[in-house]
Structure 1
Amino acid sequence: MRILLTNDDGIHAEGLVSLERIARVLSDDIWICAPEYEQSGASRSLTLAEPLRVRRLDDRRFATTGTPTDCVMLAVTELMDGQRPDLVLSGVNRGANLAEDVTMSGTVAGAIEGMALGVPAIALSQMSWPTPGEEPADQPVFLPAEHFGPGIVRRLVEIGWPSDVVMNVNFPSRPLDQIREVEVTRQTFRDLHVRQAVQRTDPRGETYYWMGFRRELSKPADGTDLRAIYDGRISVTPLHIDLTHQETVHRMRSVLGGAPPRA
């Protein structure tokens, strides 16, 4: 396979090193195009108001001033010598991409851009802190992803999936001997708000805010991505970008349709 790697943590991220190790178990034909700087939370943003710069680090490794979406689009259409990849791998993200967070994730967005360009794509993320109440695993952060990733990617490629779907894989932060299962899950939505803005003061006395997440557990149902990670299982979630809520479509068609209502 010809495999394209990208991420949202940047070209120098430790997770990208791990992703390359995963990919080289599967193929020798590896290409990398990743952001020059961290683009976490960039979602599917595309750089339109300024030019993109590309820095070639070696024959098959590039850094760009753009987002993960920019990187995948440029690699597939401009940088890979006219030969499209057979697979896009995005990650390995430092931190899980679960529940509603997938809509903001640059890691997932990199995979989605691959899918949009007709290339099968997988996003991989590593939970980087233990579930509250558990002791931190005495091992490198990305060890679970590196250990289990090649087999999961290989099996997914063997099975295949629809062309309008991306696979979102999340690894728990557990010792390897405590990770015994892979679960195919559905995306869920947290029952609490974990995003936060932390107010701080700079050396000039001015207020600024640092955006982040509180480490609080929600109460997810069985079969969901969050539940799997909480319970120490590897979560594999098929995602697509059709955000239409079909139940509401069917309900509203009976009451809103035809001529536009007057004010």
Structure 2
Amino acid sequence: MNILISNDDGIHAKGINILATTLRNAGHNVTVIAPDRNRSAASSCLTLVDPLRVKQLTEQNYTVVAGTPADCVHLALNGLFEEEFDLVVSGINHGANLGDDVIYSGTVAAALEGRHLKYPCIAVSLVEKNDSTYLSAGEHNFETAAQVVLDILQKMQPDLVAPKQILNVNVPNVNYDQLQGIEITRCGHRLADAKIVENKDPRDATVYWIGPSGTPVDNGEGTDFFAVKQNKVSITPIQADMTAHQSISALKEKF
């Protein structure tokens, strides 16, 4: 397959490089285009008021200077490259994209941008045991997540995922032989209890950090949170349509 890979952790991130190497070793033709720096939580932001510069690093590796994940995929699929791609894979993200994470995730946004442009897309993330959106120091089993992508590719068919939908894949941070299978899931939900962290810079000015993600509360059986806790790969079909369809009838009656 001719595969385009992007991410939100940046072109030098370990996850994207292990994924690219694994797919190439499996015989796939891989082109990588990613931000020149970490753009986590960039969501679907496109750069519209400044020019974008693309630097070619190697024959099949490109970086977009000051670009977002969505910028990268948008450029790649709208004429930057002459070749046609069969699939877009975003990742391997350095941390979870579970539940509400998908709203903010640059990893998911890169995949959604590809799907918006009519390509089948997968977003893949490596999940810490505490469901953290960032990997802590320690052993990171990116090879496990890369092998899972290969497993999924073997089952991909043109009509497997509906138009405008992507597969959001979360892989437990364990060895491949410790995985307990694959589960098709729905997005769970976190508490919106993230606190800002106030600090001082070297000039004694007050600065703020966005705090960690909230605690999962809708994390029972059937959710992505539950699956990864069982050492299962979670695959959630998601889409960009944010219409609250269940409210349309009541609103029509009122208005």
Give TM-score, length-normalised by structure 1. Answer: 0.88
Gaps of 5+ in 2: none
CA contact (8 A) 2:4 2:88 kept: yes
Question: In the alignment, what sits opposite 2:81?
Answer: 80
CA–CA separation in structure 2 for the residues paired with 1:210 and 1:39: 15
CA–CA separation in structure 1 for the residues paired with 2:144 and 2:50: 38
User: Equivalent residues in 2 for 1:4-83 (5 A)?
Assistant: 4-65=4-65, 66-81=67-82, 83=83
Gaps of 5+ in 1: 257-263
CA–CA separation in structure 1 for the residues paired with 2:122 and 2:64: 21
Identity of aligned residues (%): 37
SS at match of 2:156: helix
SS at match of 2:217: coil
CA contact (8 A) 2:172 2:228 kept: yes
CA–CA separation in structure 2 for the residues paired with 1:188 and 1:217: 7
SS at match of 1:99: coil
Q: Relative to structure 1, is the Cα distance of residues 48 and 21 closer, same or farther in structure 2, using a 3 angstrom cutoff?
A: same
CA–CA separation in structure 1 for the residues paired with 2:193 and 2:122: 26
Give TM-score, length-normalised by structure 2. Answer: 0.90
Return the offset for 1:213. Answer: 1.1
CA–CA separation in structure 2 for the residues paired with 1:3 and 1:117: 15
Deviations 1:157-207 (A, max 9, x none): 4772112210100001234343111000011222x2353321111111111
Return the offset for 1:90. Answer: 0.3
Q: Relative to structure 1, is the Cα distance of residues 27 and 161 closer, same or farther in structure 2, using a 3 angstrom cutoff?
A: farther
Deviations 1:66-101 (A, max 9, x none): 1111101111122212x2211000000000101111
CA–CA separation in structure 2 for the residues paired with 1:128 and 1:70: 28
Question: In the alignment, what sits opposite 1:101?
Answer: 101
Return the offset for 1:23. Answer: 2.3
Instruction: Indicate the larger mover: 210-219 or 106-115.
Output: 210-219
Deviations 1:16-47 (A, max 9, x none): 11221342255431111100111100000000
Deviations 1:51-78 (A, max 9, x none): 1111011232210021111101111122
Question: In the alignment, what sits opposite 2:221?
Answer: 222
Return the offset for 1:122. Answer: 0.3
CA–CA separation in structure 2 for the residues paired with 1:226 and 1:194: 17
CA–CA separation in structure 2 for the residues paired with 1:22 and 1:160: 23
Runs ≥4 residues deviating over 6 A: none
Question: In the alignment, what sits opposite 1:91?
Answer: 91
CA–CA separation in structure 2 for the residues paired with 1:12 and 1:212: 25
User: Equivalent residues in 2 for 1:150-165 (5 A)?
Assistant: 150-157=150-157, 160-165=160-165
Question: In the alignment, what sits opposite 1:211?
Answer: 210
CA contact (8 A) 1:138 1:175 kept: no
Question: In the alignment, what sits opposite 1:199?
Answer: 198
Q: Relative to structure 1, is the Cα distance of residues 25 and 59 closer, same or farther in structure 2, using a 3 angstrom cutoff?
A: closer
Task: Look up the equivalent residue of 1:196 and give its one-letter code.
Answer: K
Q: Relative to structure 1, is the Cα distance of residues 138 and 207 closer, same or farther in structure 2, using a 3 angstrom cutoff?
A: closer
SS at match of 1:203: coil
SS at match of 2:144: helix
User: Equivalent residues in 2 for 1:123-142 (5 A)?
Assistant: 123-130=123-130, 139-142=139-142
CA contact (8 A) 2:126 2:171 kept: yes
Q: Relative to structure 1, is the Cα distance of residues 209 and 157 closer, same or farther in structure 2, using a 3 angstrom cutoff?
A: farther
Question: In the alignment, what sits opposite 2:184?
Answer: 184
Question: In the alignment, what sits opposite 1:231?
Answer: 230
SS at match of 2:76: helix
CA contact (8 A) 1:137 1:173 kept: no
- Structure possessing the higher radius of gyration over alpha carbons: 1
CA contact (8 A) 2:141 2:175 kept: no
Question: In the alignment, what sits opposite 1:260?
Answer: none
